């Protein structure tokens, strides 16, 4: 077994190989504190016939035994991946995928398994690092390795910290995962509480300093235990045939790319490709350069076509400053916003930007609607959820409807993170909030359209968000020393570009950030320019949104439940609930409301009928009410003794009415004046330290007369 290690934040980051999973292409165990993960990488030795893309699958799985737990449910074993596992699988995939060399098409799989789960809050970070190390020491071609850290900024001190513990998460105003090589940053994902662009850049630079150390120790592991890399299957190039095909399509392709409208443009491109495949000149070229006119050239021609399309689009942008839809590099597409579209929904909005549109709907619920999450960290509850759907018709395709895929879960999580900092607290707005975004049309950055539409939908629902949030997607075209940053990218620019850079935030600052590179990384200067350009675009979109919806609605939808809040003393909670929940169930049956009581004594009463809610409030108020000194009550005699009577003045609250306080005249027996069940007017004349109440009938009578 081979070990190497490095110290990060006062703890050893240990890499081990040679003991576990020895039949995989590469396997590495990474330990940090009590957290241990195993990463394995395997690539098929054969290349499937006709494959011209890289089939890579990355899976992250959490074993419940890692936290000393037994899975819930009937089967008592791990089932389908949780949303967290899907998101971390994507997190691991994104920085390693760009580093596989072009021309490597062997089917490959990486699996990260969490074997022990400590309190260090780094299982996802170790997932990236261990996967990089496993590929790096394997025989799989790889231009890595990749290092990763989580970086946070504390609210109190403003200091940047590496891999903050989970206990610090509430104090962080910035929380990022940063991954990169020794030379550049490849991926950034995270969120903040309206932080500035400069704070974000400082955090990324700070993280990259630590990443370089982690890359260095992986190189040492490879030196000690690395396998020899396998060779790439070289595809014979036919430059003369490529030139001949280009000559057939050059002018037509340039004209087609400039056609406005995604579908019209794609139809024209498809027609050109079909024509060139059937063109007699193509057959002549095939016979000349391949020596066989009957050879199936569809794949070769399609590859040449797409490469040339990419070349033309990129050159138009970098050298001519022209985009496919004729916009300037920093120009945002036309925007329109519509709210209140759906009469029964609690809040709805349609956000349209160019050929991308999202209909976003907000639904308000009670505490019963919160999502229970059972993870290695234990049970938690979510009261704000955002779900993103991408139906096939949004891009003119025919596909079977399935449960949400990795992309949909990832986009929904990004949009949810973007809005989380502006969602009001439970104390200020005691509703469970679910937002659903259905993409109706897509041509670039539907996740950021979701952020904008969700903001409008929340405001339409009357949710008192602290500030509107807008999102924008940025792109990058880099040709040697020429660099162009693109604002509000099209789908074509995303597909053919070098970077996908999403920024969401308010007027004050950034709330969520996600960057992925298709090249070996981006410099600090490029990132700074992209952030500045993104801020300008984001502020422009916010202005357009404000024109449609200046603020959130003051009144909730008539179809939304009303939640009324009251505070009771903690020692009264048991009185409201009753033995076995008998009292609270009785109130619910009697009034038809929903009631939730927190451990702090906050009572939320939900009902669409105001009278029912008021009735429930009155009942609870009566149960928890306490006697007030000097106050007069109409009480009921519940017991009689020789020395006086016990009178119930409030539900569950009795007071002693001494015989001397019954009347101004002397009486021999209590029963001369009252009996059990009689209603009598009494005044509270004393409440002692033990809460015992003394009453006076004669003083109450004097005041009334």
Which CATH number goes with the domain that contains 519?
Answer: 3.30.230.70
Q: What's the pLDDT tens digit per position in 640-671?
A: 998 999 999 887 788 999 988 988 888 888 88
* 380 and 487 in a common domain: yes
pLDDT at 287: 62
For the chain, how many structural domains are there in total?
5
- Residue 53 to residue 569: CA distance in whole angstroms: 65
Q: Is residue 615 part of a domain?
A: yes
Indicate the residue among 293, 320, 347 that finishes a domain.
Answer: 320
- pTM, 2 dp: 0.87
Contacts of 68 (CB under 8 A, 6+ apart): none
Report pLDDT for 75: 82
Regarding whether 572 and 543 lie in a shared domain, the answer is: no
Please state, as a whole number, how many other Cβ atoms lie within 10 Å of the Cβ of residue 154.
15
Instruction: Work out the angle at residue 23's Cα, subtended by the Cα atoms of residues 19 and 25, and round it to the nearest 5 degrees.
Output: 100
Flag whether 127 is in a domain.
yes
Distance from first CA to last CA of the chain, Å, rounded?
97
* pLDDT the model gives residue 242: 81
Residue 156's pLDDT is what? Answer: 63
For residue 166, what pLDDT band results from cuts at 50, 70 and 90? confident
Residue 555 lies in a domain: no
Q: Is residue 137 part of a domain?
A: yes
Same domain, 600 and 646: no
Query: What is the structure's pLDDT at 41?
Result: 97
pLDDT digits (tens, 9 = 90+) for 53-97: 889 999 999 999 999 988 877 788 888 899 999 999 999 999 999
313 and 423 assigned to the same domain = no
Residue 47 has pLDDT above 60, yes or no: yes
**Shared domain check, 666 and 572:** no
On the question of pLDDT at 565 being above 80, the answer is yes
Strand ranges for 415-469 from DSSP E: 432-441
Q: Are residues 517 and 653 in the same domain?
A: no
Residues 197, 270 within the same domain:
no
In terms of domains, do 379 and 417 share one? yes
- Confidence grade of residue 168 (pLDDT, cut at 50, 70, 90): confident
Instruction: Show Cβ contacts of residue 23 under 8 Å, excluding neighbours closer than 6 positions.
Output: none
Would 154 be classed as within a structural domain? yes
Does position 289 have pLDDT exceeding 80, yes or no? Answer: no
Region 109-127 average pLDDT:
94
Is 60 exceeded by the pLDDT of residue 328? Answer: yes
Domain boundary among 320, 346, 372: 320
Torsion of CA 90, 208, 3, 98, to 10 degrees: 40
Per-residue pLDDT at 295 exceeds 60: no
**Residues 21, 106 share a domain:** yes
On whether residue 231 sits in a domain, the answer given is no
Band the pLDDT of 334: cuts 50, 70, 90.
very high
pLDDT value at position 17? 96
Q: Residues 237-249: what's their mean pLDDT?
A: 78
| CATH code assigned at 259 | 1.10.10.400
**Does the pLDDT at position 257 exceed 80?**
yes
Does any domain span residue 235? no
Q: Are residues 577 and 523 in the same domain?
A: no
Q: What is the pLDDT of residues 491-542, one digit of tens each?
A: 988 888 888 899 999 999 999 999 998 887 788 888 999 999 999 999 999 9
**Mean of pLDDT values over 669-679:** 89
Report the mean per-residue pLDDT for the chain: 90
Q: Which domain holds residue 594?
A: 562-624
The residue among 573, 600, 624 that closes a domain is 624
Pairwise CA distance, residues 224 & 334, whole Å: 57
CATH for 590: 3.30.1370.10
Q: Do 393 and 267 share a structural domain?
A: no
Stretch 35-41: mean pLDDT: 97
pLDDT of the residue at 201: 94
pLDDT tens figures, 369-424: 999 988 888 888 999 999 999 999 999 999 999 899 999 999 999 999 999 999 99
143 and 97 share one domain:
yes
Quick: pLDDT tens for 339-352: 999 999 999 999 99
Strands 108-116 and 56-62 turn out to be parallel
Q: Is residue 556 part of a domain?
A: no
Of 339, 386, 354, 396, the closest CA to residue 545 belongs to 339
């Amino acid at each position: 077994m081979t070990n190497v290690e490095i110290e990060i934040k006062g703890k050893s980051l240990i890499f081990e190989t040679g003991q576990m999973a020895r039949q995989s292409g590469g396997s590495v165990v990474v330990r940090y504190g009590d957290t241990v993960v195993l990463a394995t990488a395997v690539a098929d030795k054969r290349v499937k016939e006709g494959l011209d893309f890289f089939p890579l699958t990355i899976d992250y799985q959490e074993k419940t035994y890692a936290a000393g737990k037994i899975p819930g449910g009937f089967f008592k074993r791990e089932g389908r991946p949780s949303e967290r596992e899907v998101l971390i699988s994507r997190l691991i995939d994104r920085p390693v995928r760009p580093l596989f060399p072009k021309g490597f098409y062997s089917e490959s799989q990486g699996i990260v398994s969490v074997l022990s789960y400590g309190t260090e809050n780094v299982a996802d970070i170790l997932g990236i690092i261990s996967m990089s190390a496993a590929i790096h020491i394997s025989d799989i071609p790889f231009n890595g390795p990749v290092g990763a850290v989580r970086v946070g900024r504390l609210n109190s001190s403003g200091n940047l910290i590496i891999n903050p513990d989970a206990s610090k998460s509430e104090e962080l105003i910035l929380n990022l995962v940063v991954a990169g090589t020794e030379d550049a940053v490849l991926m950034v994902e995270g969120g903040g509480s309206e932080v500035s662009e400069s704070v974000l850049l400082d955090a990324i630079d700070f993280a990259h300093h630590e990443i370089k150390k982690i890359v260095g120790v992986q190189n040492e592991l490879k030196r000690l235990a690395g396998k020899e890399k396998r060779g790439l299957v070289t595809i014979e190039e036919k430059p003369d045939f490529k030139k001949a095909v280009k000559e057939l399509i050059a002018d037509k392709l340039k004209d087609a790319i400039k056609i406005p409208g995604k579908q019209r443009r794609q139809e024209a491109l498809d027609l050109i490709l079909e024509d060139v495949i059937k063109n007699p000149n193509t057959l002549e070229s095939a016979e000349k350069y391949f020596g066989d006119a009957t050879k199936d050239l569809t794949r070769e021609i399609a590859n040449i076509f797409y490469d040339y399309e990419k070349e033309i689009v990129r050159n138009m942008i970098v050298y001519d400053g022209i985009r496919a839809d004729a916009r300037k590099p920093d120009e945002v597409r036309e925007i329109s916003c519509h709210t209140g579209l759906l009469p029964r929904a609690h809040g709805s909005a349609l956000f349209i930007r160019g050929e991308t549109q999202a209909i976003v709907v907000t639904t308000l619920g009670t505490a019963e609607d919160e999502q229970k999450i059972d993870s290695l960290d234990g049970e938690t509850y979510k009261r704000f959820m955002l779900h993103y759907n991408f139906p096939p018709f949004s891009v003119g395709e025919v596909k079977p409807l399935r449960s949400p895929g990795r992309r949909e879960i990832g986009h929904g999580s990004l949009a949810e993170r973007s809005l989380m900092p502006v969602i009001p607290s439970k104390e200020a707005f005691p509703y469970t909030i679910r937002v659903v975004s259905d993409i109706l049309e897509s041509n670039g950055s539907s996740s950021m359209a979701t952020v904008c539409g969700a903001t409008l939908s929340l405001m339409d629902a009357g949710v008192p968000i602290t500030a509107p949030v807008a999102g924008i997607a940025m792109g990058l075209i880099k040709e040697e020393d020429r660099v162009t940053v693109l604002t509000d990218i099209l789908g074509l620019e995303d597909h053919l570009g070098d970077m996908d850079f999403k920024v969401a935030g308010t007027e004050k600052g950034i709330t969520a950030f996600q960057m992925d590179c298709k090249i070996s990384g981006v410099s600090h200067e490029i990132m700074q320019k992209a952030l500045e350009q993104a801020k300008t675009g984001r502020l422009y979109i916010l202005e357009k949104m404000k024109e449609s919806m200046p603020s959130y609605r003051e009144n909730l939808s008539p179809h939304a439940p009303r939640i009324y809040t009251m505070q009771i003393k903690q020692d009264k909670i048991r009185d409201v609930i009753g033995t076995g929940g008998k009292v609270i169930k009785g109130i619910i049956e009697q009034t038809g409301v929903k009631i939730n009581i927190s451990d702090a004594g906050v009572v939320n009463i939900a009902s669409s009928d105001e009278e029912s809610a008021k009735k429930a409030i009155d009942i609870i108020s009566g149960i928890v009410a306490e006697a007030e000194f000097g106050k007069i009550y109409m009480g009921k005699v519940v017991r009689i003794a020789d020395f006086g009577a016990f009178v119930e003045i409030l539900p569950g609250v009795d007071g002693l009415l001494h015989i001397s306080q019954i009347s101004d005249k002397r009486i021999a027996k209590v029963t001369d004046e009252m009996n059990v069940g009689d209603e009598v007017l009494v005044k509270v004349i004393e409440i002692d330290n033990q809460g015992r109440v003394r009453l006076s009938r004669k003083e109450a009578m004097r005041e009334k007369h």
